[in-house]
Amino acid sequence: MTSTPPLAELVQVMHQLRAGCPWDREQTHRSLATYLVEETGEVLDAIESGDDADLLEELGDLLLQVVFHAEIAAEEGRFTLDEVAGQITAKLVRRHPHVFDDRQEVPDDINASWEARKRAEKGRSSSLEGIAEHLSVLARATKVTSRARSHGVDVPMADEPINAAELGEQLMMLVQRAHASGVDADQAGREALRVLESRVLEAEQAVPASGPTSHPGR
């Protein structure tokens, strides 16, 4: 007699929790959002600590969030966990033709190839489309910069070399200077980011729709 695969068992447990536990039963996508953010942060902490036991546990907690959201959607007849898995599997195969199609060569710029396919699939007109609004200002600024550069958007950007230690030290110094000066560093960064985003959009609008870009990717 074969045992139930762990993932299938987790789905069964989730069924039972939704049916028998008042707290689990009343949860919605919105009410669970804060836990998704929290569990993601704990996974990052475990990665930094290098403790495999912690990482194993925290990845499980994060997986639970995926299963929980899929269970809610399935109950409402919207989609299932199998559909979630099927969609990401199809996406990975579709965006890696150099792996799954022997006729395709490995592109010179893997990231650019991925983004080019994503942009074509989603019919995006701007390099900024699809960047999550809920990212931290630093994470979003990094994404905006990466997208604008790889899409060949003609916006001046600093490119002087810097290593991780220097970057971290300068970031901390800027935060400390901002605090000493009564400036909200996060808000100041957000406002500067909006200026950069506006410049990217203006530069994109100045280029004819049919005009090529030097880098179609991220």
Same domain as 63, residue 135: no
Same domain as 190, residue 153: yes
Same domain as 133, residue 57: no
Same domain as 201, residue 101: yes
pLDDT tens per residue, range 69-89: 999 999 999 999 999 999 999
Domain stops at, among 93, 115, 143: 93
pLDDT score recorded for residue 216: 36
Domain limits for position 14 = 6-93
**Between 212 and 172, residue with greater pLDDT:** 172
pLDDT tens per residue, range 93-134: 988 888 888 888 887 777 767 667 777 777 677 888 888 888
CATH number of the domain that residue 25 is part of: 1.10.287.1080
Same domain as 201, residue 130: yes
pTM: 0.68
**Do residues 74 and 80 lie in contact, with contact meaning Cβ atoms separated by under 8 Å?**
yes
Average pLDDT in the chain: 88
Same domain as 185, residue 116: yes
Same domain as 169, residue 126: yes
Average pLDDT value for residue range 25-37: 94
Same domain as 104, residue 40: no
